[in-house]
Amino acid sequence: MLRPKLPTMPQPTGTVTPPAVVVEPTTIVPGTSTPPATIPAPTRPTVRLTPGTVLALVGSGTAVVLVVGAVLVSLLLAVAVTGASVAVCALVIRSLVNADAKRR
């Protein structure tokens, strides 16, 4: 039911030769040449910077810089806090191991 059915390929019956290619010469007839068509360049809308748009661009750029800076500083702070807590844990474990060794 779930087995694929493979098609059977017919066996060649004799020697197969490629068909002969016939090359016929063509003549070139000179004619009148037409000038190439010029394609007009697409018109792009011009960007006009008014004082309001400049202020908006500067404000949005400042906001992006502040947000990215806050994210990077918080990541650095998280790494520092994690490193400090790992160091404290290492000191506690070392003191516990040393205290246990002194009792024996």
Among the residues of the chain, which ranges form H helices? Answer: 51-103
**Predicted local confidence at residue 40, as pLDDT:** 75
Q: What is the DSSP string of 85-97?
A: HHHHHHHHHHHHH
Read off the pLDDT band of 104 (50, 70, 90).
Answer: low
Between the alpha carbon of residue 70 and those of residues 41, 76, 81, the distances in Å are: 46, 10, 16
Q: Residue 4 has what DSSP assignment?
A: P
Q: Give dist(CA 73, CA 65) in Å, integer.
A: 12
Check residues 64 and 30 and name the one with the higher pLDDT: 64
| Lowest model confidence (mean pLDDT) among 20-24, 49-53, 71-75, 97-101 | 20-24
Mean pLDDT of 58-69: 96
Residue 39's Cβ-side half-sphere holds a number of Cα atoms within 13 Å equal to 2
Mean pLDDT of 71-90: 97
**Report field, pTM of the whole predicted structure over 0.85:** no
